[in-house]
């Protein structure tokens, strides 16, 4: 656990030192959501109708934008090779990288959610569900994305391939999260969608570290 905490702390320190790069996903998310009223319609009823999908498409793309950074710097400075030969379990190291990525990328999206809900005219009653979907869904995005990053870390230009690998796996999270927020906005129960999101998050955190560790060994061999 000391190694786990050390890796999380190291990645957070690096994110603070490169604040501009770390802030890009949040800025991208805010820009995408802010442009929707300008590009479609500023009418409150129209925005409330499309808001769930817009919020989650923005969150998905913002997460995808920051994924490559999860292992890229470690690959470039040689730290990744040391992680592979470390006596610590590699899946535990990958889990620490996933947690650090979520703290840098997913947590700011969660903090910005109330402002986004106000901007898009979501009903106040749907805000807790929106926060719940982001709290459950964004960690799953980081965990699933780690597999794609691990497979493409050794490629010089793996960004496009990473998108092709990861986006199909993101679809279930996108569908159930947007559906939950839409149901809450209509005054309907969203517990079923939240249960599914919780199951997806638990499944991704259970399987993704081992799968990403195996992918890293393949990529670095």
Q: Residue 119 has what pLDDT? A: 81
Do 107 and 115 touch, CB atoms closer than 8 A? no
Kindly list the distances between the CA atom of residue 148 and the CA atoms of 45, 59, 152, 189, in Å, as whole numbers in the listed order: 38, 18, 6, 34
Tell me the mean pLDDT per 10 residues along the chain, length 221.
84 84 85 79 74 87 86 81 84 92 91 85 85 93 91 75 86 92 86 92 92 87 72
Q: Residue length, the chain?
A: 221
Do 71 and 216 touch, CB atoms closer than 8 A? yes
Q: How far is CA 66 from the centre of its chain?
A: 8
Q: Residue 103 has what pLDDT? A: 92
Q: Residue 102 has what pLDDT? A: 92
Question: Closest Cα to residue 108, out of 146, 63, 159?
Answer: 63
pTM equals 0.89
Dihedral Cα 35, 39, 41, 47, nearest 10 deg: -40
């Amino acid at each position: 656990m000391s190694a786990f905490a050390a890796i999380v702390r190291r990645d957070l320190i690096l994110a603070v030192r490169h604040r501009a790069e770390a802030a890009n996903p949040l800025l991208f998310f805010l820009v995408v959501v802010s442009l929707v009223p300008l590009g479609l319609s500023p009418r409150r009823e129209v925005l409330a109708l499309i808001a769930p999908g817009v919020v989650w498409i923005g969150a998905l793309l913002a997460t995808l934008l920051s994924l490559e950074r999860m292992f890229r710097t470690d690959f470039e400075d040689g730290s990744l090779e040391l992680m592979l030969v470390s006596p610590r379990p590699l899946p535990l190291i990958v889990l620490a990288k996933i947690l650090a990525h979520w703290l840098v990328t997913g947590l700011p999206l969660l903090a910005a959610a109330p402002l986004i809900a106000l901007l898009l005219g979501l009903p106040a009653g749907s805000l807790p569900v929106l926060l719940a979907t982001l709290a459950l869904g964004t960690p799953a995005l980081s965990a699933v994305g780690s597999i794609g990053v691990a497979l493409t870390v050794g490629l010089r230009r793996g960004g496009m391939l990473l998108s092709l690998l990861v986006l199909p796996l993101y679809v279930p999270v996108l569908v159930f999260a947007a559906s939950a927020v839409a149901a809450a906005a209509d005054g309907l129960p969203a517990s079923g969608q939240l249960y599914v999101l919780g199951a997806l998050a638990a499944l991704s955190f259970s399987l993704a570290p081992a799968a990403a560790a195996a992918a890293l060994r393949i990529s670095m061999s």
